Structure 1
Amino acid sequence: MAPNLLFVTLDQLRADAVFGALHGIVPTPALDRLRAEGVSFTNCFTAAVPCGPARASLLTGLYAFNHRGIRNGTPVARHHATLATELRRAGTEPLLFGYCDMAADPSEHPPDDPDLATYELPARGFREIVEMRFEAPLAWIGHLRSRGYDLPSPLPQRWFDLYQPVGDGLRAPALYRAEDSDTAWLTDRTLEALDARRDGAWCAHLTYIRPHPPLVAPEPWNRLADTARIPAPAPAGPDHPFRTAWFSAPAQHGLFRGFDGRCDRLAPAQVADLRATYLGLLAEVDHHLGRLLDWLDSTGQAGRTLVVLLSDHGEMLGDQGYWGKDNVLGPAHHVPLLIRGPGVASGREVADMVSTVDVAPTILELMGVDVPPAMDGASLVPFLHGTAPEVWRGLSLTEIDLSQPGAPTRFERALGLTPLTANAAILRDATHSLVHFNGGVPPMLFDRRRDPAECHDLASTPQGAAEVARLRAALLDLRMTRADRRLTHLSHLP
């Protein structure tokens, strides 16, 4: 009998806040409990950034070069299977609490269909139980108004104005109380819906917005982290054309309300406050995650429920001066992945390189569902049982598109790229990270054994050049091996 599934995705949570330098600064008992009772993958990297492409890869099990949902708002073609379509095919109804950041395939909609005006639709196959979309959280807005909050009417920026602080300073509290936050409200609705289903089997995908910016938190979470305990960000990295392009125009305007987008002008005290607020938001999510784990215990469902938790992508959080996830460096890509459930080993850490494309095949196998041959990911089930696969690729691939339809981006302008060449692929193995840029932009290479923060570019050194050639060959092999395989396993020859 298949277990229940609680599949939890946080937005923009970097891995070292769960197991690394930022862990332990704020209490995270629920995450620590999952680590102790399950398997932790300490080298999991997202297959794409930002949010939309990351979730497209997570839910289809495909690299971005196959699903082609390469930007926020770029559609994913209807023929691609998702985790939800395959669970549904096997007779399980996947429930969605939150958002998927998926854009509709225009080939199946009339031109004026409202679905073509948003990129926050559920992935194909999910039944949306709680509509909690980041840029249009209508149900939460209704809740806040019902609780007496004096919200602007109409809200000029429907989602952003909900995250304005009350008072001065970057640690000022949000306008809503902790019991009415987006995180608390979504958890309340999820527990209500699942409690109604607790006597049968259920399958739920819960997606929290936090700790995604804007970086503002309600009391007491806004003041929870002590800035004196938070390590400073990694220092500025290599003087590379990518860095010049990144800082060539304001960016990350949504970091906090009123921010002008000039990340290079943030003072050290501001950086410390923002990092502290980020960790406070993580502690808030952890608190509500603990409510879900306690509910599983109190209702006798913990032993028959598979819990999978990860983040869609990471966050630079001031490292090398960068903020956000639109980046080619590790903090934007490195995510925590925790799995607990029936038959899963306890307290085990896996250091092998894995990818978010591996999550959908893993869940399908654990739920007793066939994995479509087109999925690029590989099941992690042997790791969960305390062994290792006989053959493992030992690589992770992350892709990023640096263009945007309609107007040239700062990367296109500064690097002289076209919409078709403004992109990069990042390949990581057990020791090195290669950043391969399209359009003739020089590569970057990092030896993570000596430089885990990816601050020192070795690509132009003689030894580095040999590593660049080795990893470029591995990248080409991966692309050739995994090019769209939806039908390649078939043959109509007699």
Structure 2
Amino acid sequence: MSPNLLILMSDQHVPYACGAYGSDIARTPNLDALATRGTVFDGAYCNSPICVPSRASMATGRFVHRTGNADNASPYLGSEAPSWGHRAASAGIPTTTIGKLHYRSAQDDTGFPDQRRPLHVRDGKGDLFHALREAQPPAVQLRGALVDTVVGDSDYIRFDRAVAAEAVEWLEEKASGEGPWLGKVSFVTPHYPFTVPQEFLDLYPLELLPMPRRNDPLEWDNHPAVEIYRRGCGLNEPLSRKETLRAVQSYYGLVSFMDAQVGLVLDALEATGQAENTIVLYVSDHGELLGTNGLWFKGTMGEGSVRIPAMLAGPGVPAGQRCATNVSLVDVFPTVIDALNLDPRPEDEDLPGRSLLTIANEPSDSERTVFSEYHSANSHTGSFMIRRGPWKYVRYTGFEERLYNLETDPWEDNDLAEDPAYASKLEECRNAMLEICDPDLVDERIRAEQRRRVEAYGGVDAVLKRPLMAYSPANSS
């Protein structure tokens, strides 16, 4: 019999804030224990560094320029492409999701009929503010979210506690039935608001926290696309040292809170006797810039934004292993097919991903290419990235391209795109990206569709009249 598959997901967790990825600051004992008994992917990426597109890409195994889920106002409906939920359900495998999905509605046929405590986009529409692009005013509510650090419980804290409790109850139900089953448990932390219970803030005394890298304005990355993002978030004036450290403290506190909820779920898996026959995959939907270059949140092609943690454990997964092959969230779809022994279909042949189970059991592939793109808030131009072995290439429509060797320069201090010594590598990376898409054509098509949706809503002024929020509200009841 096939094993069960449990997918654990967080929101906005950067791997630098995890002990399993070498952090000597983050307190993440449950994720670290999961990593010890499985395989950690050191080069894992999201396919679009913002919630709705990233989660649509993960569900369908396809890039968002293919499905059309390009911004936070174009949520997954289920009709763009089948999800791995559709495939499991059609095979008769019970499939349950608990927590954040960020699709349009629980009523849509997204392949997940058993949704418990689902969190979808606001009012079933999302935030069309994200489609305004160059017409978008600065999102001052984002800066406010950074400086508004609070001790206590937020709707997100209450929501995640409810999600963990629901997951424990669900696992207890599954213990008395027959497998295999497929489940996804998705938390909203460490996504802001920066409201954190005292016990988790206490893990991170302010005086012991370092300032972020290149946080001094004299050291900022001033590439035009980065500058547009900085202004769009209201961050062109730097935070004070105190504001910065409090935001760092809050973020790490939320990471530890999320890890504690993961621990409750993993403990229940063990207590119900299902751990030995369950493959567990942990991922996040995107990272967190965490003050680097004075930037926060996500939405850029910086490593803090596009890198994610990814770890796999359970039957058939090498234990105590680190995998250097580049992977991304489009690999989740074929992983589900593989883990549950589902029959392949002709329409799977053009999927860009591969099973993480297969990748974990093969020698590292130094040439594998992964891809990410961004077409949403705080950007005037399409951003496209590939990671090919140690090389990272970033293409912006209308702005200068970038090239980094992450093996020797993991913090992206040295852009090599203008260095003649790397001209051939630059050309190789350009061609590798063109094998995936033509950035100029994709940008033109997506921006035209965004303009159409804005006009259909009543125009820019009508969009701006809608109350702006820094994050999707959650109902913990």
Residues 391-424 of structure 1: CA deviation (Å, up to 9, x unaligned) = 7851111111146xxxxxx643xxxxxxxxx212
Q: Which residue of 2 aligns with 1:100?
A: 101
Instruction: Tell me, in whole angstroms, the C-alpha distance in 2 between the residues paired with 1:175 and 1:189.
Output: 19
Q: Which residue of 1 aligns with 2:88?
A: 87
From 227, 235, 243, the equivalent of 1:262 is: 235
1:188 deviates by 0.8
Instruction: Tell me, in whole angstroms, the C-alpha distance in 1 between the residues paired with 2:20 and 2:223.
Output: 27
Q: Is the 1:61–1:361 Cα contact (8 Å) retained in structure 2?
A: yes
1:25 deviates by 2.0
Q: Is the 1:44–1:355 Cα contact (8 Å) retained in structure 2?
A: yes
Distance 1:26 1:329, change over 3 A: closer
Q: Which residue of 2 aligns with 1:147?
A: none
1:321 deviates by 1.0
From 173, 186, 189, the equivalent of 1:210 is: 189
> 3-state SS of the aligned residue for 1:479?
coil
Q: Is the 1:358–1:380 Cα contact (8 Å) retained in structure 2?
A: yes
Residue 244 (str. 1) matches residue 227 (str. 2): yes
From 110, 119, 135, the equivalent of 1:133 is: 119
1:308 deviates by 0.7
Q: Is the 1:132–1:186 Cα contact (8 Å) retained in structure 2?
A: no
From 166, 171, 174, the equivalent of 1:194 is: 171
Instruction: Tell me, in whole angstroms, the C-alpha distance in 1 between the residues paired with 2:308 and 2:107.
Output: 23
Residue 400 (str. 1) matches residue 374 (str. 2): yes
Instruction: Tell me, in whole angstroms, the C-alpha distance in 2 between the residues paired with 1:229 and 1:310.
Output: 28
> 3-state SS of the aligned residue for 1:436?
strand
Instruction: Tell me, in whole angstroms, the C-alpha distance in 2 between the residues paired with 1:265 and 1:237.
Output: 10
Residue 72 (str. 1) matches residue 77 (str. 2): no
Q: Which residue of 1 aligns with 2:445?
A: none
From 250, 255, 259, the equivalent of 1:282 is: 255
Q: Is the 1:47–1:54 Cα contact (8 Å) retained in structure 2?
A: yes
Residues 39-88 of structure 1: CA deviation (Å, up to 9, x unaligned) = 11011011112111111111111122222211112144615111101111
Count of residue correspondences: 411
Q: Is the 1:221–1:281 Cα contact (8 Å) retained in structure 2?
A: yes
From 448, 454, 468, the equivalent of 2:426 is: 468
Q: Which residue of 1 aligns with 2:204?
A: 225
Q: Which residue of 1 aligns with 2:450?
A: none
Q: Which residue of 1 aligns with 2:392?
A: 433
Letter in 1 for 2:363: A
Q: Is the 2:145–2:194 Cα contact (8 Å) retained in structure 1?
A: no
| Pairs within 5 Å for 1:44-443 | 44-76=44-76, 78-103=79-104, 115=105, 124-133=110-119, 172-175=150-153, 181-200=158-177, 201=179, 202-235=181-214, 236-249=219-232, 251=233, 261-262=234-235, 264-371=237-344, 372-385=348-361, 387-388=362-363, 394-402=368-376, 411-412=379-380, 422-438=381-397, 440-443=398-401
Instruction: Tell me, in whole angstroms, the C-alpha distance in 1 between the residues paired with 2:308 and 2:342.
Output: 26
Distance 1:310 1:263, change over 3 A: farther
Instruction: Tell me, in whole angstroms, the C-alpha distance in 2 between the residues paired with 1:123 and 1:100.
Output: 13
Question: What TM-score results when the alignment is normalised by the length of structure 2?
Answer: 0.79
> 3-state SS of the aligned residue for 1:130?
strand
Q: Is the 1:53–1:69 Cα contact (8 Å) retained in structure 2?
A: yes
1:128 deviates by 3.9
Unmatched 5+ stretches in structure 2: 124-140, 442-477
Q: Is the 1:434–1:471 Cα contact (8 Å) retained in structure 2?
A: yes
Q: Is the 2:51–2:286 Cα contact (8 Å) retained in structure 1?
A: yes
Q: Which residue of 2 aligns with 1:30?
A: 30
Q: Is the 2:75–2:102 Cα contact (8 Å) retained in structure 1?
A: no
Residues 456-484 of structure 1: CA deviation (Å, up to 9, x unaligned) = 3222222244332221011112338xx9x
Instruction: Tell me, in whole angstroms, the C-alpha distance in 2 between the residues paired with 1:20 and 1:188.
Output: 25
Instruction: Tell me, in whole angstroms, the C-alpha distance in 2 between the residues paired with 1:435 and 1:352.
Output: 19
Instruction: Tell me, in whole angstroms, the C-alpha distance in 2 between the residues paired with 1:135 and 1:402.
Output: 15
Distance 1:28 1:121, change over 3 A: farther
Distance 1:123 1:33, change over 3 A: farther
Q: Which residue of 2 aligns with 1:451?
A: 409
Instruction: Tell me, in whole angstroms, the C-alpha distance in 1 between the residues paired with 2:107 and 2:43.
Output: 29
Which shows bigger deviation, 53-62 or 126-135? 126-135
Distance 1:411 1:368, change over 3 A: closer
1:336 deviates by 0.7
Instruction: Tell me, in whole angstroms, the C-alpha distance in 2 between the residues paired with 1:332 and 1:267.
Output: 22
Instruction: Tell me, in whole angstroms, the C-alpha distance in 2 between the residues paired with 1:436 and 1:123.
Output: 35
- Percentage of matched positions with identical amino acids: 25
Instruction: Tell me, in whole angstroms, the C-alpha distance in 1 between the residues paired with 2:406 and 2:19.
Output: 17
What's the RMSD between the two structures over aligned residues? 2.9
Q: Is the 2:19–2:27 Cα contact (8 Å) retained in structure 1?
A: no
Instruction: Tell me, in whole angstroms, the C-alpha distance in 2 between the residues paired with 1:365 and 1:177.
Output: 36
Which shows bigger deviation, 373-382 or 336-345? 373-382
> 3-state SS of the aligned residue for 1:207?
strand
Instruction: Tell me, in whole angstroms, the C-alpha distance in 2 between the residues paired with 1:134 and 1:26.
Output: 29
Instruction: Tell me, in whole angstroms, the C-alpha distance in 1 between the residues paired with 2:251 and 2:53.
Output: 23
Instruction: Tell me, in whole angstroms, the C-alpha distance in 1 between the residues paired with 2:154 and 2:195.
Output: 10
Q: Which residue of 1 aligns with 2:449?
A: none
1:333 deviates by 0.7
Residues 1-56 of structure 1: CA deviation (Å, up to 9, x unaligned) = 12222111100000111257872424211111111111110110111121111111
Instruction: Tell me, in whole angstroms, the C-alpha distance in 2 between the residues paired with 1:127 and 1:283.
Output: 31
Instruction: Tell me, in whole angstroms, the C-alpha distance in 1 between the residues paired with 2:10 and 2:360.
Output: 21
Question: What TM-score results when the alignment is normalised by the length of structure 1?
Answer: 0.76
Residues 304-356 of structure 1: CA deviation (Å, up to 9, x unaligned) = 11111110110101111111111121110111111111121111110111111
Q: Which residue of 1 aligns with 2:447?
A: none
Q: Is the 1:171–1:223 Cα contact (8 Å) retained in structure 2?
A: no
1:176 deviates by 5.8
Which shows bigger deviation, 290-299 or 349-358? 290-299
Residues 294-313 of structure 1: CA deviation (Å, up to 9, x unaligned) = 21222211101111111011
